[in-house]
């Protein structure tokens, strides 16, 4: 049986993040990828110049089309910018009995908020209870837990992970890539066990799409029947290798993408 994963996310015209990064990740990890597009962005390696949301009705129709025909084993949710879209996705997940890997795309690398307050509340109230695992970065974890500033150490990351679990999520992976130090350490918590996932920090400007790629890689593992913590650990290893190889690519004039196909492309 072919493993199938579904990405529900926005489209990145530059190809480095969003739906495009998710489908590349699925393919790189041996999983067939389907997609539900929530928004269309005009962007490249230098930034985003325009965004147009897809209607909630079309989001629902895409989900119905995929779930009614394809045997989807894992779902990843990325960019969802409107309360109506979030409600439509939550309704579809409930109707088809699915839980998801939720990448809460709330805060840009610049620190700017990407969601309106009502959409943040809807994501927390409607999607997190349906999350098999939620994967916030430090700024997103702070926003979800009502903290004024992002965690500055692993102890605070752990406290925020525990707080996020109270939203109803099955598990949480707090990404520590923005902590200072030589390691980029993530913390996984499932309500019982706290697992530290360290990796050496890689100095590169080509890190566009890291969050999308990590969450999609987790979904790929789940689609193949891998237990959650093993899927998370394997996804982090895959992303680390993709970042390590990113400078082998020459894409655009700004922040380039990670190298999703680093195992196969010959330089």
Encoding tokens for residue 188?
């996984």
Q: Residues 172-199: what's their mean pLDDT?
A: 88
Other CB atoms within 10 A of residue 149 CB? 9
Spatial distance between the Cα atoms of 19 and 117, rounded to a whole number of angstroms: 24
Residue 168's φ and ψ, nearest 5 degrees, are: 110, -5
Kindly report which listed range (38-42, 49-53, 145-149, 156-160) carries the lowest average pLDDT score: 145-149
- Predicted confidence (pLDDT) per residue in 166-184, tens digit: 999 999 999 987 677 777 8
Higher pLDDT, 15 or 152: 15
Q: Count the alpha carbons within 13 Å of 117 in the hemisphere toward its beta carbon.
A: 1
What local confidence, expressed as pLDDT, does residue 117 receive? 78
Spatial distance between the Cα atoms of 93 and 113, rounded to a whole number of angstroms: 26
Encoding tokens for residue 234?
């394997």
Assess whether pLDDT exceeds 70 at residue 109. no
- When pLDDT is cut at 50, 70 and 90, the band that residue 5 belongs to is very high
Whether the CB-CB separation of 6 and 72 falls below 8 Å is answered with yes
- When pLDDT is cut at 50, 70 and 90, the band that residue 87 belongs to is very high
Whether the CB-CB separation of 171 and 155 falls below 8 Å is answered with no
Q: How far out from the chain centre does Cα 115 lie?
A: 15
Distance set, CA 104 to CA 81, 114, 127, 164, 254 (Å)? 10, 10, 10, 12, 24
Assess whether pLDDT exceeds 60 at residue 29. yes
Other CB atoms within 10 A of residue 263 CB? 12
Residue 172's φ and ψ, nearest 5 degrees, are: -140, 140
Assess whether pLDDT exceeds 60 at residue 111. no
């Amino acid at each position: 049986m072919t493993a199938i994963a579904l990405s529900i996310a926005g489209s990145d015209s530059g190809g480095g993040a969003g739906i495009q990064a998710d489908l590349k990740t699925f393919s790189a990890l041996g999983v067939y990828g389907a997609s539900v597009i929530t928004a269309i962005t005009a962007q490249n390696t230098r930034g985003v110049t325009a965004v147009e949301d897809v209607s909630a009705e079309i989001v629902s129709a895409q989900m119905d089309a995929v779930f009614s025909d394809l045997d989807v084993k894992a779902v990843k949710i990325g960019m969802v910018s409107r309360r109506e879209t979030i409600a439509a996705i939550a309704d579809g997940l409930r109707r088809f009995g699915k839980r998801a890997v939720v990448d809460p795309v709330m805060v840009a690398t610049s620190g700017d908020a990407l969601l309106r307050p009502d959409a943040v509340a809807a994501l927390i109230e409607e999607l997190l209870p349906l999350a098999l695992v939620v994967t916030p970065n430090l700024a997103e974890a702070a926003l979800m837990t009502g903290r004024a500033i992002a965690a500055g150490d692993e102890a605070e990351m752990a406290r925020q992970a525990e707080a996020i679990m109270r939203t109803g999520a099955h598990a949480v992976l707090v990404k520590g890539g923005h902590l200072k130090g030589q390691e980029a350490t993530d913390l996984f918590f499932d309500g019982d066990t706290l697992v530290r996932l360290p990796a050496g920090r890689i100095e590169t400007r080509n890190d566009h799409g890291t969050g999308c790629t990590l969450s999609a890689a987790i979904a790929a593992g789940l689609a193949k029947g891998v237990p959650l913590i093993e899927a998370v650990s394997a996804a982090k290893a895959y992303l680390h290798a993709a970042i390590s190889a990113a400078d082998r690519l020459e894409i655009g004039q700004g922040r380039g993408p990670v190298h999703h196909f680093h195992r196969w492309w010959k330089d």
